[in-house]
Structure 1
């Protein structure tokens, strides 16, 4: 597929609104969860500590948009940043077929970033080169992803055939390598998100969204979280009891695992506000050199919509894509601020020195926060 170049990307100052928490809780007037300008990003500060993260002059830019043209939701999940190459890899939402002869599909976008002079201290992105790619063989209906070695691990949700789906390592410029494709002979449901621990173990979630979206076979396993050791081949279930386990990440010191439960929405589009829109936290307890998850607790409930992708910064603050954009909690579960993005955010990632990339279905945004607000995953 032909690449598209978007040049002359403009950088805009980001509106910051300070919310008095006590007044908000006592007032009948609802605090808006949308920016004042529907074509821009805004920030809601609920706690003074949020100011330490966003800095005195946050800025943002719209990198790519399909709104008003194809309107296709190309910017949905994965959102993996490769700092060595200044590239983003993003998976689309389900794309409907253009004819009855084809099936719905999911594409991968590669976004090459071109920056201004870094020596001057201004390293904002002025141009992007956007290439849409069909997933390589094996990576059927890709969703989440994470940095791994010199490439990316992609979650393959699989298709209607048995024997498809799982985790695939895609080295940059090489063919994908299957890592784990079944649970002792049983197909996974539709692997959704993944994170890699410092010891090399791979943790991932497996909800049943693929079946509900009519591209995956009937589920053969519960909605669960798994840990896979690529050295020994050990594969274990580490957590269950979810409606729809979705995003997953570690605290910076890897003593806590956070998992989002998006049972609020099912794959057929059904929504129920009485179901989980929740982030659960687990402590990692090691027995005989083997990690177990203990002390399951409700860490946070989304203010708007449901929490999808999730990341921590180097300070231990927790960020999750929600119906209003990205909501941010401190390590105690206090909501300290929100990044308001029109239409909400499914997933996102940190880039270099305080930048974030936000996937909003038809739009891909870049937000520049304080330069030392960095993601725990890369720490760049």
Structure 2
């Protein structure tokens, strides 16, 4: 199924991103469970996409999250569950040529943290970091990798609120971890529920979403943040700090979950009615409307976006000149 009427232009500059023939195409649909919720890790060499599901129930009625490998090179597109052993997987990102990083939210028995996963069978995984100076993470949510090889990630309290993690022993914070040295720092605080995170193409700015409007138990409080914040990446005494915190955007529909930039610095975020796109200066350019909203997404190549819409996986085709900042393709 292809839809061409799903692109809402808020600012005329959005036309240059959409190109002459933008398309929204349904790739995979599963009515049995919400297989397409988070992560979105595109492997260009194999045309594979790794995604995590929304919370569902195992055979004993307990909570679980499934991880799937989507073969975008197959016709039709196929989607196969894999079992890397990551507890309650959520956000993820490419990590080198043969691995990905996936946020394990953890459960009552296994730690929350950053896990590495091989992107080839048998998809073995390893916990890279599961605590902050001995205190367990809450439920690590989303992750991005800096060009200096440091790993930056968010840690809200959704797991506790949804009943599968212990009472938090840390504030809701954002962290920077250096795998080589093992050093870890809390790099930002002051959030209700820090969620999505990404760098601008020049890595001088970090964007972090706060989805505090939506509690983990499903309740909505319109007085709380449904916002994107921008920070400058500054250097003091040879180390990075986040400075000049500023409100970048407030979403009017749902919450801003996953967040990405293109190579021109435009900012994209999954929201309650699809994907919203802003200029680097915070002007809303337009929306890619997808009924039911988008939690997360990722860029493919030459203007492709793969949008995770719970029971559906969509392919968005923008102008072929548009390239995601993460992979640059």
Is the pair's TM-score, using the shorter chain for normalization, greater than 0.5? yes
Give SS of 1:285's match: strand
2:39 to 75, 78, 81: 78
Cα separation, 2, equivalents of 1:200 and 1:357? 25
Is 1:113 the counterpart of 2:72? The answer is: yes
1:63 to 13, 27, 33: 27
Answer yes or no: is the 8 Å Cα contact 1:77–1:359 preserved in 2: yes
Answer yes or no: is the 8 Å Cα contact 2:28–2:78 preserved in 1: no
Counterpart in the other structure of 1:14 = 4
Cα separation, 2, equivalents of 1:176 and 1:370? 36
CA RMSD of aligned residues (A): 1.2
Answer yes or no: is the 8 Å Cα contact 1:45–1:337 preserved in 2: yes
Is 1:316 the counterpart of 2:301? The answer is: no
Q: Which runs of 4+ in 1 moved over 3 A?
A: none
User: How many angstroms does 1:13 deviate by?
Assistant: 5.3
Cα separation, 1, equivalents of 2:137 and 2:17? 38
Counterpart in the other structure of 1:26 = none
1:143 to 83, 90, 98: 90
Cα separation, 2, equivalents of 1:131 and 1:97? 17
1:156 to 96, 104, 119: 104
User: How many angstroms does 1:114 deviate by?
Assistant: 2.1
Cα separation, 2, equivalents of 1:51 and 1:185? 50
Give SS of 1:203's match: strand
Cα shift readout 1:33-69 (whole Å, capped 9, x = no counterpart):
xxxxxxxxx01001111000010111221011123xx
Answer yes or no: is the 8 Å Cα contact 1:308–1:346 preserved in 2: yes
Where does the alignment leave 5 or more consecutive residues of structure 1 unmatched?
1-9, 16-41, 116-125
Farther off after superposition, 172-181 or 257-266: 172-181
Cα separation, 1, equivalents of 2:238 and 2:275? 35
Answer yes or no: is the 8 Å Cα contact 1:13–1:58 preserved in 2: no
Counterpart in the other structure of 2:325 = 376
Cα shift readout 1:233-279 (whole Å, capped 9, x = no counterpart):
11000000000000000000000000000001011111111110000
1:346 to 295, 298, 301: 295
Cα separation, 2, equivalents of 1:44 and 1:176? 40
Answer yes or no: is the 8 Å Cα contact 1:13–1:57 preserved in 2: no
Cα separation, 1, equivalents of 2:24 and 2:196? 25
User: How many angstroms does 1:109 deviate by?
Assistant: 1.1
Cα shift readout 1:330-360 (whole Å, capped 9, x = no counterpart):
0010101000001000000000110100001
Answer yes or no: is the 8 Å Cα contact 1:284–1:294 preserved in 2: yes
Give SS of 1:114's match: coil
Cα separation, 2, equivalents of 1:214 and 1:177? 24
**Matching of residues 151-230 of structure 1 within 5 Å:** 151-161=99-109, 164-173=111-120, 174-230=123-179
Answer yes or no: is the 8 Å Cα contact 2:277–2:284 preserved in 1: yes
Change (3 A) 1:107 1:47: same
Cα shift readout 1:133-157 (whole Å, capped 9, x = no counterpart):
23x23x2111000000122101011
Cα separation, 2, equivalents of 1:287 and 1:358? 38
Instruction: Return the index of the structure with the highest Cα Rg.
Output: 1
TM-score under structure 2 length normalisation = 0.97
Where does the alignment leave 5 or more consecutive residues of structure 2 unmatched?
none
Give SS of 1:127's match: coil
Cα shift readout 1:287-314 (whole Å, capped 9, x = no counterpart):
2321000000000000211100000001
Farther off after superposition, 169-178 or 50-59: 169-178
Counterpart in the other structure of 1:250 = 199
Is 1:91 the counterpart of 2:52? The answer is: yes
Give SS of 2:280's match: coil
Answer yes or no: is the 8 Å Cα contact 2:48–2:73 preserved in 1: no
